[in-house]
Amino acid sequence: MKLFEGKKGLVLGVANDHSIAWSIAQFAMEEGAVCGFSHLPDKPDDARQRNRHRVAQLTDKQPSAKFLVPMNVQNDDDIRAVIQKTKEEFGQIDFLLHSIAHASLEDLKRDTVETSRAGFLMAMEISAYSLLAVANAAKDILSPRSSILTMTYFGGEKCVPGYNVMGVCKAALDSVVKYLAYDLGPRGVRVNAVSAGPVRTLAGRGAGVDDMVPLYEKMSPMGRNVLPEEVGRSGGFLLSDLSDGITGEILHVDCGYNIMGSPGRLLDAYKGQPG
């Protein structure tokens, strides 16, 4: 029997084939799950519907992908509509994958101290509050043995220069995970987060991932950066019944980078350098 045989889930935040959420969803579907998907709404003047098209290119090839609908997490009516669609298709769901974050490029490029008020509010609403909003809307269709998973990053735990305001948002998201785990625990719903190493996604490139990858390759105990499929399997584990005793946790999938208290083998490059 496959790991997700008979399981149904809702996947929020796939942008394209590089999205971590897509790696996780692929794993779940390969293991028997059926899924519904959301995509970022297209602008009214975008006749090509670029956002929908990028995700539809993936889901249209998957018999286990049952629907694809737009959702703006800043709009409660949009969230309710997606949950209603999910209820009509599946009744109850066994997992919910939340992979949504955004900050303006202008604010990401600024020092954190210079973050604009409007940019901070927008980034926090989309990147942290959205998990609360979605979980609240979905709580009545989550099965008594279900799992919610979100995507975080080490920049919410420690200062990662260049990650800036998004690090503040991820710190809030990490806390949301813990409080949701408490609130939803009596329902049998678990809430966890995956903290992946830098992956070249659309969001990741905006947050300076290209600069982080060489550092991870030098500093991590495994001497390399994580692969998307590794994050996919780990995320699948947290969405599956195999992790049914785990909630409120942040699982680091970063080849061990987060354990390091010094630059590790990166120091070798400086040995013998004049002081």
* Catalytic center residues: 153, 163
Cα separation of 223 and 197, whole Å? 13
Angstrom distance (rounded) from CA 67 to CA 90: 11
Q: Which of 20, 75, 13 is nearest to 38 (CA)?
A: 13
